[in-house]
Amino acid sequence: MRSQLFKTRITEMLGIRHPILCGGMGPGVSDANYVAAVVNAGGMGFIVAAGFPDPHVFREQLRKCRELTSGKGFGVNLYISAQAEATQRLQEHVKVLAEERVLCVETSGASPEDILPALRDAGLKVLHKVPAVRYARSAARLGVDAVIVVGNDSGGHPGTYGISSMVQAPHAANEISIPLVIGGGIGTGRQLAATLMMGADAVLMGSRMLVAEELWIHPQYKDLLVQSDGTDSVVVKTGLRQHHRVLNNESAKAVAALDAIGVSDFERYRPHVMGTLTTQAYLTGDSSLGMLDYGPSVVFANAVQSVEVIFDEVLDDAQRAMQRMDLLHCEV
C-alpha cells in the first residue's frame, strides 16, 4: 500500500489513507470481498444493500466484510426508492446497519430526508450521491455529512442534465461547504490530483474498477473491458427520463430505439432492462444482453489487477502529476 499523499476532509472523516471512494456497482456486484479489498487498499467501498434483499444474507455480508478488513470501517450503498416495498426493505437494511455498526452509507436515488433521522440514530456517516450541484445544495441543507456529485461520464445513472465532471467539480466546490466527492469518468491519478486542486476532497471511481480481481464478474467480461476504448458507452432510457449509461449491447440498442420514438410506457422497456439479464451477463460473460453500467473511463482499465495494484497505479500517477505541477510553477 502506498504512503498517504493527501489528507482531506474525507480521509479524516472516514479514517482512510487515500481520498479514493469506490461507489456501489449494481445489485450484488459490490460485495464483501470487493469492498474489503478497497478498504484494505486504503480507500472506502460500499456493499450494495439492494443486492442482498434477505436481511440475514445482508448481515452475513457485513460480518464477512468486517472480518476481511480486521475490523476497519466500511460502507454500504442504499438506494432510496419511492416504492412501498423498497421502502420497507430499506428500513430493514438500516436496522441491520445499526446493529452491525457500519461506518457510513452512500445514499442515492430520491432525497434522503425521510430516512436521514434513522441513519443518524444508527450513528452512520451519510454521503449522498447526486447528478447535479442543485441537488447537492439541497442535500447539504438537510444535514448530510458529505455529498458525491457525479458528472455525465458516470457509468450507471448520470442524471438528465449532461454536465461534465470537469464543470461539476469547481462549481460544487464554490457552492458546497461540506466535504465533497466528485465522480464520473475518473480513472487516473492525474484526474485525482486535478479534482483535489479544483476543491474536492476525494474522487469516486466505478467503471475503472470493473476489472478488479476481487470482483466476481466473469473473466470474459473483464477481458472485454480491458480491450475496450470507452467509445461503446451510451446513455439510454431517455424516454423515461431515467438516463442510464451502459455498454452499447443488444439490450441498449433496443432501448435506444424506444427512446427514439418517444416511448414513455415502462412496460415496453421492461423486457430489455430486467435486472436478471444484467446478473446473467456478469455470471456468464455474455455481454450481449442486460443493462451493464459502463462509463468511458473503462479506457483506463487496461489490465485485470487487484484493487491494491489499481490504487497504487492511480496514486503513483497522482504523484507524477503533482511533480509536473511543481516543474511548471513559476516563482514570482
- Asked whether residue 104 carries a pLDDT value surpassing 80, the answer given is yes
- Asked whether residue 89 carries a pLDDT value surpassing 90, the answer given is no
Q: What is the mean pLDDT of residues 211-238?
A: 97
**pLDDT, the chain, mean:** 96
Least confident of 108-112, 116-120, 270-274, 327-331: 327-331
The predicted-structure confidence for 18-74, as pLDDT tens digits, reads as follows 999 999 998 789 999 999 999 999 999 999 999 998 999 999 999 999 999 999 999
Rg (CA), the chain: 19
In a domain, 184, yes or no: yes
- Asked whether residue 1 carries a pLDDT value surpassing 90, the answer given is no
Q: What is the mean pLDDT of residues 210-225?
A: 98
Buried b (16+ CB within 10 A) or exposed e, 240-278: beebbbbbbbebbebbbebbeeeeeeeeebeebbeeebb
Which residues are CB-contacts of 27 (< 8 A; sequence separation ≥ 6)? 48, 50, 51, 275, 279
Q: What is the pLDDT of residue 232?
A: 97
192: domain CATH number? 3.20.20.70
In a domain, 319, yes or no: no
- Asked whether residue 332 carries a pLDDT value surpassing 90, the answer given is no
Three cell numbers written together for 201: 476532497
Q: What total number of domains does the chain contain? A: 1
The predicted-structure confidence for 119-139, as pLDDT tens digits, reads as follows 999 999 999 999 999 999 999
In a domain, 198, yes or no: yes
CA distance 122 to 112: 14
In a domain, 260, yes or no: no
Percent of the chain residues topping a pLDDT of 90 = 93
Residue 18's domain comprises: 9-213
Q: What is the pLDDT of residue 303?
A: 98
In a domain, 297, yes or no: no
